[in-house]
Amino acid sequence: MQDTSAPIYAPGFDALVATDGSHDSSAAHAADARLGVYLHMLADRISHHVCEDVSVISGPSSSGFYVDLTSGECAQPIHLLRHAWETGVDFAQLAPQDRTTLAMLSSVYQELVAFARARGVLRPGADSTATQAAYTVQLAAALQKFAAPDRIAAIDAVGCAHGLSPFPGQPACAAR
């Protein structure tokens, strides 16, 4: 087992996330990027539970990370398939162990609520169980659309129904 007590720093992170040309290196942008990295890690932990439940990952330490993903559940072909099964498929057709999208959406939603609360920008009612359930079920249904343009439009429609802006480059929400 590796020593996990030594932190790993990324002093160039703020500048790195500003190099896409559309953002600056402000503290707010860097904080949003860190939140995105965290949410991605959380989502991956849920969607890859079959692999990670039988794996060893430790670190960071002065010698780096120790990762043992030698289980067949961690092989690249099944890894790719599990990502493919997150969108564009009927989730009911998947084996129960691979129906991870709704659990992932629920966990990510809860974390977004916690971050919004901490930042003082939580919308009234967004933290209710009913709102979370409606939002995540609607997003899961949208993610099951097979054709990517239909899936993106469905995701935008869910966001619009909840008062959010569509993805950049997508049509604006219809006036209510």
**Its pTM surpasses 0.85:** no
Least confident of 26-40, 42-56, 105-119, 120-134: 26-40
Distance, in Å, from the CA atom of 126 to the CA atom of 109, rounded to the nearest integer, reads 9
Does 24 have pLDDT greater than 90? no
Report residue 23's pLDDT band, with 50, 70 and 90 as the boundaries.
low
Distance, in Å, from the CA atom of 73 to the CA atom of 32, rounded to the nearest integer, reads 32
Distance, in Å, from the CA atom of 32 to the CA atom of 119, rounded to the nearest integer, reads 11
Taking the CA of residue 11 as centre, how many other CA atoms within 13 Å lie in the half-sphere pointing to its CB?
A: 0
